[in-house]
């Protein structure tokens, strides 16, 4: 569960060079490991938790907060869904959103945000999930006790869904993963006996569309998908 997850092919080496080559590769990869720069947002009254993967490189940030790229549509979608205004969280005419306003909204509405990936390697140096090697996934034993009212998790793409499902004691086959706008039971089992709570197995996992503009879906359709979801779980 804490092991390296990778979408990259394995490599073989001649036995004579194996130790030296593996050592060099290990040192190079260790130098490339990044830790997620933003801590989780965990309102104690949260009933739902948003779970993505990894932010873009710092040169793409417009703020120091989850989904920091101004051209990612996450906060436009939230503005549209909850306030009928895609620019609700935008700072005037500037190309950035207001992280404190977003945080206050999340605490008021009981919506948590926690990445599925704590440490990762960008194999291509960008934010693409398909080139992201997960080194350390989220430790739900640490996160879930901080949001004891959470009953619903939702992911914002395929990679986050894959990571979460890999944490189950019996991960489903990929053919059983929920497709976009679908859900499934999420029977997580505690790894740390000290953190166990009786109702952890009642979690539900939804998969929603990616808010990246690389995802081929019009903004209004993404807004509709998120609005339907938030209505279904009683946030609208």
Q: pLDDT tens for residues 151-184?
A: 999 999 899 999 999 999 999 999 999 999 999 9
pLDDT surpassing 70 at residue 118: yes
Report if residue 6 sits inside a domain.
no
pLDDT surpassing 60 at residue 214: yes
Q: Count of alpha carbons within 13 Å of 108, Cβ hemisphere only?
A: 7
pLDDT surpassing 80 at residue 226: yes
Instruction: Give the range with max mean pLDDT: 18-22, 152-156, 212-216.
Output: 152-156
**Residue 127's pLDDT band (boundaries 50, 70, 90)?**
low
pLDDT surpassing 80 at residue 195: no
* Whole-model pTM over 0.85: no
Q: What is the CATH number of the domain that holds 190?
A: 3.40.470.10
Report if residue 4 sits inside a domain.
no
User: Whole-angstrom Cα distance, residue 167 to residue 131?
Assistant: 20
Q: What is the pLDDT of residue 124?
A: 75
Report if residue 1 sits inside a domain.
no
Report if residue 8 sits inside a domain.
no
pLDDT surpassing 80 at residue 31: no
Report if residue 96 sits inside a domain.
yes
- Contact present, 50 and 111 (Cβ < 8 Å): yes
Report if residue 16 sits inside a domain.
no
pLDDT surpassing 80 at residue 81: yes
Provide mean pLDDT across the span 116-138: 83
Provide mean pLDDT across the span 207-222: 94
Classify residue 18 by burial, with Cβ atoms within 10 Å: 0-12, 13-18, 19+: exposed
Report if residue 162 sits inside a domain.
yes
Which of 7-16, 32-41, 223-232 has the least mean pLDDT? 7-16
pLDDT surpassing 50 at residue 90: yes
Report if residue 129 sits inside a domain.
yes
Residues 6+ apart with CB under 8 A from 175: none
Q: How many domains does the chain have?
A: 1
Average predicted confidence (pLDDT) for the chain? 86
**Which domain does 132 fall in, by range?**
22-232
Q: What is the pLDDT of residue 56?
A: 86
């Amino acid at each position: 569960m804490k092991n390296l997850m990778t979408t990259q092919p394995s490599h073989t080496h001649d036995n004579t060079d194996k130790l030296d080559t593996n050592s060099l590769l290990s040192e190079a990869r260790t130098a490339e490991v990044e830790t997620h720069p933003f801590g989780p947002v965990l309102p104690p009254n949260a009933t739902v938790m948003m779970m993505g993967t990894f932010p873009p490189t710092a040169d793409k940030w417009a703020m120091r907060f989850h989904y920091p790229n101004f051209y990612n549509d996450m906060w436009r979608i939230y503005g549209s869904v909850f306030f009928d205004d895609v620019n609700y969280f935008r700072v005037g005419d500037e190309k950035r959103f207001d992280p404190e306003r977003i945080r206050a909204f999340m605490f008021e509405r009981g919506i948590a945000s926690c990445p599925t990936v704590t440490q990762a390697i960008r194999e291509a140096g960008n934010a693409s999930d398909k080139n992201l090697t997960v080194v350390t996934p989220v430790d739900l034993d640490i996160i879930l006790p901080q949001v004891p009212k959470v009953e619903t998790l939702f992911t914002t793409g395929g990679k986050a869904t894959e990571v979460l499902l890999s944490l189950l004691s019996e991960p489903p086959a990929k053919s059983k993963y929920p497709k976009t706008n679908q859900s499934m039971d999420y029977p997580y089992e505690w790894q740390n006996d000290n953190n166990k709570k009786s109702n952890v197995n009642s979690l539900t996992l939804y998969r929603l569309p990616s808010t990246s503009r690389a995802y081929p879906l019009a903004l209004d359709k993404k807004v509709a998908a998120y609005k339907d979801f938030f209505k279904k779980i009683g946030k609208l």
